[in-house]
Amino acid sequence: MLFQDIKLSKFLLNALEEAGITEMTPVQEAVIPKVLSGQDVLGISPTGTGKTLAYLLPLLRQLSHQQGSAPRLLVVVPTKELVMQLMEVIRMAACYTSLRAVPIFGGGSKLSQVTELEEGADIVISTPGRIQEMVSIRALNLKSVKHLVLDEADTLLDESFRTQMRYLMDSLPEKRQNIMFSATFSKETQQLAHQFLVNPSKVVIGELQKPAPNISQKAFDVPNIKTKLNLLADLLNDSEVYQKVMVFTETKKVADRVQQFLHHRLFAGKANVIHSNKTENFRLRQISEFKEGLATVLVATGVAGKGVDVEGVSHVINFEVPHEYEDYVHRIGRTGRNDAKGEAVTFVEPAETEDFQNLQALLGECIDLLPLPEDTWVVEMPASPPDADRRGNSVKHKNQKKEERGAAFHEKKEKNTKINKRIVPKAHLSAKAKKTQGLKSNGRPRKRRK
């Protein structure tokens, strides 16, 4: 179906035509009429299927033009990167309208964000923490909000954001249209979502909580982290196959280690890294270089990578097996977007075997676990000592140290004991010490009065 066949304004249609977007995706065909009718919508759709325009276009149609100073549309997302990504889409779609959109997020200049809000906004895109902060200092008034969108709702309704989301809901007017979108929805998250939605219309595109069918999946059996680094470098050396790659890690420390390793292994300037310890400007610059092809590899933690929407990612590599099934689906969804073919590769250590087996059970399919390529250098690492024998393991270790004194240990010599310590000459004593010991200033004893 074409966008011209539905009730969109000529301003929106002109913007879409200029961007080369004419046909609707399945999720857009299903969602746009429901949003235009004013229903609450719960959308579950794989990443890369066009869900952003599915809710933005009908909402921009309803807002129509600039009005008042307080926002009427509030879009909440979990990361700063997703805020900026949504701003790009809004600038494209609303370029021929007078609507004002303001992004607010932690890490940005609070003063400039407050100034923009004071000048007036029809649309606000924000992370939950910055909304709470702006409302608490009365820089943001939410009483005029008529439409609320929670994008990546499964993350927003997670325990880590729950307090901020409760504060947000208490600050909003009761009568409003609610729209929630995500690639995955656990049963617990769906139960929480129904607390915020009123008789929602549920739209499910594709299989629930399943990766897109155009993404092939495989895994390598790797003995340790150092061998993982060697395998990663070997794979990326084949630049004709691994053209544009995102590498996901579980921690910021491992992300930095992977990027530094690649930087020194013939990938200088071609491997970028993002995580929450990096500044906002640094992260945006790293993503921009990756989008433009200046960097061919982007290393990211799971949370930071959620907001990255880049076309043409050929491969996603999970350097570690994700602990959560939803995280796996989100990550590999960075490739294979818009029906393009993609590949997901996972490195599995022996300690991660159980997580990998659980992942396959939830997927309902078997992922090929391949042996290492013959050319990959396998690093032999010494086995870790048992926990009881590790340094610093409290009382037992200290007692063993006292009992197992080696030949280098010896008792103090007699001359170094307190009893036979060197006597300081009285002439070198301080004036106070001399007075205490009954001495004159020249060190001679005072005469005692009879």
CB atoms < 10 A from the CB of 268, how many?
A: 9
| Of 165-179, 319-333, 390-404, highest mean pLDDT | 165-179
* pLDDT at residue 61 greater than cutoff 70: yes
Give the range among 58-67, 138-147, 212-221, 397-406 with minimum mean pLDDT: 397-406
What does 342-360 look like in DSSP terms, one character per residue? Answer: EEEEEEE-GGGHHHHHHHH
Report the pLDDT value the prediction gives residue 155, as an integer from 0 to 100. 84
Report the pLDDT value the prediction gives residue 432, as an integer from 0 to 100. 56
* pLDDT at residue 232 greater than cutoff 90: yes
* pLDDT at residue 89 greater than cutoff 60: yes
| Of 109-113, 421-425, 436-440, highest mean pLDDT | 109-113
What is the DSSP pairing of strand 297-301 with strand 41-44?
A: unpaired
What does 212-275 look like in DSSP terms, one character per residue? Answer: -TTEEEEEEE-SSHHHHHHHHHHHHT-TTT--SEEEEESSHHHHHHHHHHHHTTT-TTTEEEE-
Nearest to 38 by CA among 58, 11, 9: 58
Percent of the chain surpassing pLDDT 90: 51
* pLDDT at residue 173 greater than cutoff 90: yes
Contact predicate 59/149, CB 8 Å = yes
Name all domains of the chain by residue range, CATH numbers in brackets. 3-204 (3.40.50.300), 215-370 (3.40.50.300), 411-450 (no CATH)
Report the pLDDT value the prediction gives residue 194, as an integer from 0 to 100. 78
Report the pLDDT value the prediction gives residue 320, as an integer from 0 to 100. 95
User: Cα(245)–Cα(297) distance, rounded to whole angstroms?
Assistant: 5
User: Cα(353)–Cα(144) distance, rounded to whole angstroms?
Assistant: 51
Higher per-residue confidence, 381 vs 174: 174
Report residue 384: phi and psi, to 5°: -70, 140
User: Cα(405)–Cα(141) distance, rounded to whole angstroms?
Assistant: 70
* pLDDT at residue 436 greater than cutoff 80: no
Average the pLDDT over 333-353 and give the result.
91
Where are the strands (E) in 268-387, listed by range? 271-274, 297-301, 315-318, 342-348, 368-370
Give the range among 89-98, 141-150, 420-429 with minimum mean pLDDT: 420-429
Average the pLDDT over 219-231 and give the result.
96
| Residue tagged 């200088």 (tokens) | 268
Report the pLDDT value the prediction gives residue 310, as an integer from 0 to 100. 85
- CA within 13 Å, CB half, 189: 23
The per-residue pLDDT for range 374-425, each reduced to its tens digit, is 999 999 877 655 444 444 444 444 444 444 444 444 555 555 554 444 444 5
Report the pLDDT value the prediction gives residue 210, as an integer from 0 to 100. 74
Report the pLDDT value the prediction gives residue 413, as an integer from 0 to 100. 54
The per-residue pLDDT for range 200-217, each reduced to its tens digit, is 888 887 655 678 889 999
Report the pLDDT value the prediction gives residue 119, as an integer from 0 to 100. 94
* pLDDT at residue 150 greater than cutoff 90: yes
Report the pLDDT value the prediction gives residue 304, as an integer from 0 to 100. 66
Report the pLDDT value the prediction gives residue 339, as an integer from 0 to 100. 78
Strand partners, 123: 73, 101
Report the pLDDT value the prediction gives residue 438, as an integer from 0 to 100. 62
The per-residue pLDDT for range 256-290, each reduced to its tens digit, is 999 999 998 877 889 999 988 888 788 889 999 99
What is the DSSP pairing of strand 201-204 with strand 73-76?
A: unpaired
Helix axes 80-93, 280-292, angle to 10 degrees: 60
Give the range among 112-121, 320-329, 395-404 with minimum mean pLDDT: 395-404
Report the pLDDT value the prediction gives residue 420, as an integer from 0 to 100. 46
* pLDDT at residue 448 greater than cutoff 90: no
Give the range among 161-165, 189-193, 317-321 with minimum mean pLDDT: 189-193
User: Cα(369)–Cα(367) distance, rounded to whole angstroms?
Assistant: 6
**pTM (two decimals):** 0.60
What does 15-62 look like in DSSP terms, one character per residue? Answer: HHHHTT--BPPHHHHHHHHHHHTT--EEEE--TTSSHHHHHHHHHHHH
* pLDDT at residue 138 greater than cutoff 60: yes
CB atoms < 10 A from the CB of 239, how many?
A: 11
Query: CA dihedral defined by 246, 247, 248, 251, rounded to 10 degrees?
Result: -130
The widest CA-to-CA distance across the chain, in whole angstroms, is: 123
Give the range among 142-146, 181-185, 226-230, 376-380 with minimum mean pLDDT: 181-185
